[in-house]
């Protein structure tokens, strides 16, 4: 098994770590994150300590499910001290690792919950969508954030875009599994190149989410195909220019006064603060938005990189709070 290291636990073989990716991350993240990297690496490379949040589906509400979660030791992930927390938005987490059973897709029946990394809800809470606003989810697959947005509010127009054909099919499936008929018909799903949406739909949206294609640290570490992993690491350098172009497109698609949230699931500075700084330095019509109040309100459940600016945060996975990595930044169009 060229380049694969086997990690065994509890007597059965676990996923295998891809050594080329680990070596690459080791160099970069030890330099960027210093002492914090060793404990982050311990979480990322040990799936048995990973945690999964349970996002409830308000369109298929079950009080029985909430009781079951309480009995199993789950508690609400988010609390009233948040600047934005709609009462219809309910997410449960547990301090222990492991995963609540997944729900099978049943025709004609909506799913009651969505399992995800709790940190991936922070971009949605930062976006603060209100009823009637026109919203664009620029890179929407597999659909968890789109579903979460619809738990928060009922947009006027909701445009979910995913350039990749296969991922776009998954996005449609997710929406159909969680959102009732009449509402599904109000959601526009497209497969456009996100870099062109700004020119195709200028100044059309109040809120835009750019959950950008990125080095997905968590899944890349477990690449089963060493050649594909090596290729990804070579092409990784090009991601930041794609992310920059997607952000520029998103800014064009925003109405003046509208805001956007940019997120990734990587620790990489090149794909996070570097991209946002480049946007702030090159687009005179964009201002950073302070999200430190949101970060403070969730700091008991999430661990953050210190020393970031007020318009951004980076969730660092740690044992018992194994959420992230998740970078979030918020900008406003003047």
**CATH code for the domain in which residue 289 is found:** 3.40.50.150
Asked if residue 3 has pLDDT above 80, the reply is no
Inter-helix orientation angle 36-44/19-33, to 10°? 150
pLDDT band, very low/low/confident/very high, at 84 (cuts 50, 70, 90): very high
Asked if residue 236 has pLDDT above 80, the reply is yes
Residue 299's domain comprises: 16-50+119-333
* pLDDT confidence of residue 15: 84
Asked whether residue 139 is marked as a ligand-binding residue, the answer is: yes
What's the domain count of the chain? Answer: 1
Give CA separation, 260 vs 106, 207, 227, 249, 331, in Å.
35, 6, 36, 11, 5
Asked whether residue 193 is marked as a ligand-binding residue, the answer is: yes
* pLDDT confidence of residue 9: 43
* pLDDT confidence of residue 227: 96
The average pLDDT across 309-320 equals 97
* Portion of the chain with pLDDT greater than 90, in percent: 91
Asked whether residue 145 is marked as a ligand-binding residue, the answer is: yes
The residues, any chain, with a CB within 8 Å of residue 42's CB and separated by 6 or more, are: 319
Contact 102, 128 (CB under 8 A): no
pLDDT in tens, 272-302: 999 999 999 999 999 999 999 999 999 999 9
Mean pLDDT of the chain: 95
Asked whether residue 18 is marked as a ligand-binding residue, the answer is: no
* pLDDT confidence of residue 165: 96
* pLDDT confidence of residue 105: 80
Inter-helix orientation angle 239-253/273-282, to 10°? 50
* pLDDT confidence of residue 271: 98
Token pair 């990690």 is found at 7
Going by the DSSP 8-state scheme, the letter that residue 51 receives in this structure is B
Asked if residue 4 has pLDDT above 50, the reply is no
Which amino acids are annotated catalytic? 265
pLDDT in tens, 95-153: 999 899 999 888 789 999 999 999 999 999 999 999 999 999 999 999 999 999 999 99
Asked if residue 1 has pLDDT above 80, the reply is no
Asked whether residue 140 is marked as a ligand-binding residue, the answer is: yes
**What does the block give as tokens for 107?**
């025709």
| Strand (E) or helix (H) holding 292 | helix 292-297
* pLDDT confidence of residue 108: 83
């Amino acid at each position: 098994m060229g380049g694969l290291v086997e990690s065994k636990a509890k007597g059965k073989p676990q996923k295998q770590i891809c050594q080329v990716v680990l070596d690459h991350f080791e160099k970069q993240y030890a330099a960027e994150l210093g002492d914090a990297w060793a404990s982050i690496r311990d979480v990322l490379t040990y799936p048995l300590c990973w945690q999964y949040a349970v996002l409830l589906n308000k369109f298929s509400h079950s009080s029985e499910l909430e009781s079951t979660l309480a009995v199993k030791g789950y508690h609400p992930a988010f609390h009233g001290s948040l600047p934005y927390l709609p009462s219809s938005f309910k997410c449960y987490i547990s301090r222990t690792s492991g995963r609540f059973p997944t729900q099978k897709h049943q025709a004609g029946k909506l799913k009651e919950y969505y399992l995800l990394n709790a940190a991936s809800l922070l971009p949605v809470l930062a976006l603060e969508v209100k009823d009637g606003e026109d919203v664009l989810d620029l890179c929407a697959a597999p659909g968890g954030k789109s579903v979460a947005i619809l738990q928060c509010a009922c947009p006027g127009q909701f445009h979910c875009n995913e350039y990749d054909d296969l991922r776009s099919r998954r996005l449609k499936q997710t929406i159909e599994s969680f959102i009732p008929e009449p509402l599904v018909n109000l959601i526009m799903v497209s497969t456009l190149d996100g870099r062109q949406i700004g020119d195709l739909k200028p100044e059309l949206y109040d809120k835009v989410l750019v959950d950008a294609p990125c080095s997905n640290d968590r899944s890349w570490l477990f690449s089963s195909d060493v050649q594909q992993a090596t290729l990804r690491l070579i092409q990784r350098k090009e991601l930041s220019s794609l992310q920059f172009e997607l952000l520029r497109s998103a800014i064009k698609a925003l109405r003046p006064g509208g805001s956007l949230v940019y997120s990734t699931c990587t620790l990489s500075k090149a794909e996070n603060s570097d991209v946002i700084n480049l946007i702030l330095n090159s687009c005179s019509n964009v201002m950073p938005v302070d999200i430190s109040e949101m970060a403070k309100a969730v700091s008991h459940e999430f661990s953050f990189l210190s020393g970031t600016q007020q318009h951004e945060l980076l969730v660092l996975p740690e044992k018992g709070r194994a959420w992230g990595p998740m970078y979030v930044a918020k900008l406003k169009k003047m």
